[in-house]
Amino acid sequence: MYNQNQDEIRPYISVIMKNLLSIRSYSTKPTRHSHHFNQLVLPLRGVINICVGDFNGKVAPSECVVVKANEEHLFTADTEARFVVVDMKNLPLNISSSHCIVFAINSSLKSYLTFIENQLENKVNAQLEQAMFEMFSLLLAEQPLLPKVDNRIGTAISFIEQNIAEQLHIKRLAESAFLSETQFKKLFKQQTNMTVMKYVTKLRMEKAQALLTHTDYPLSIIGEKVGYKEPSAFSRKFSQFFGLPPNKFKK
């Protein structure tokens, strides 16, 4: 029977079919294929093996693999592995203009994937799903497209993110990566195009900026949350990084 709302719904269905979030697993039996839309695969648990373009290897949690429209590719994975799969009509400029096939995602997008999984597995809500897709696209557009990092450096980066309020010394970070201090500093610079401490400072200052903007914590607490026990040390580093002291930045 004809539904008078079908003509109104059809354009919306067309949109969400082109821009779609889903949770999937892949068979251990590989199948080579392609599709007319772009697709991103972001592991939640387990590792995916993929052959696409010049890349033939593993993609793990905290990483994203990009399959552009009409690009032939092949996936395999253990049956218990789970992934967020994103079908996109248009890729953000940072992705479409890059030749990077696999890249590391930041902690914000990684956390958002958990929300996506929880929502999609428990509720059907087309309007919310579209809003989730739009938020995903915004977060994706902010990703720095560094090449897939060495697992040891990835472990160290996770350690930095989880312990940003602590004193982070090269020795301890190198130990987390199971590397000597010299090897660690060299490999970290090769993988991220930044020295270790410059990377740490960047994360700390970005977090401090967010806390200043979105919370009412006093400056002393914000400093402690980003690894500076002395307010003067925090103020000095913040001023060097942003060009003005935190008490002037805070609204």
Give Cα 247 to chain centroid, integer Å.
Answer: 31
Convert the pLDDT of each residue in 9-65 to its tens digit. 334 443 444 689 999 887 667 778 888 999 999 999 988 888 998 899 888 888 999
CA triple 198-200-206, angle to 5 deg: 100
Find the mean pLDDT for residues 155-169: 91
Helices (H) and strands (E) in the chain, counts: 11, 9
Q: Give the residue among 79, 32, 64 at the shortest CA–CA distance from 51.
A: 32
Q: Which amino acid is at 85?
A: V
Sign of CA dihedral 94, 19, 71, 29: positive
Q: Which amino acid is at 124?
A: V
**Statement: residue 221 has pLDDT above 50:** yes
62, 104 Cβ separation under 8 angstroms: yes
Q: Give the residue among 50, 43, 79 at the shortest CA–CA distance from 67.
A: 50
The DSSP call for residue 194 is S
147 pLDDT band, cuts 50/70/90, is low
242, 202 Cβ separation under 8 angstroms: no
Find the mean pLDDT for residues 103-131: 91
Pairing of strands 20-24, 55-59: unpaired
Find the mean pLDDT for residues 199-223: 91
Residues present in the chain in total: 251
- Mean pLDDT, the chain, as a whole number? 86
191 pLDDT band, cuts 50/70/90, is confident
Q: Give the residue among 95, 109, 94 at the shortest CA–CA distance from 63.
A: 109
184, 199 Cβ separation under 8 angstroms: no
> What is the reported pLDDT for 37?
93
Percent of the chain with pLDDT over 90: 54
* Confidence (pTM): 0.69
Find the mean pLDDT for residues 201-225: 91
Find the mean pLDDT for residues 117-134: 92
β partners of residue 21: 86
77, 28 Cβ separation under 8 angstroms: yes
Convert the pLDDT of each residue in 65-96 to its tens digit. 999 999 999 988 877 889 999 999 999 999 99
Walk me through the domains of the chain, giving residue ranges and CATH numbers: 6-141 (2.60.120.10), 151-249 (1.10.10.60)
**Statement: residue 5 has pLDDT above 50:** no
Find the mean pLDDT for residues 225-251: 89
Question: In a 3-state reduction of DSSP, which class is residue 218?
Answer: coil
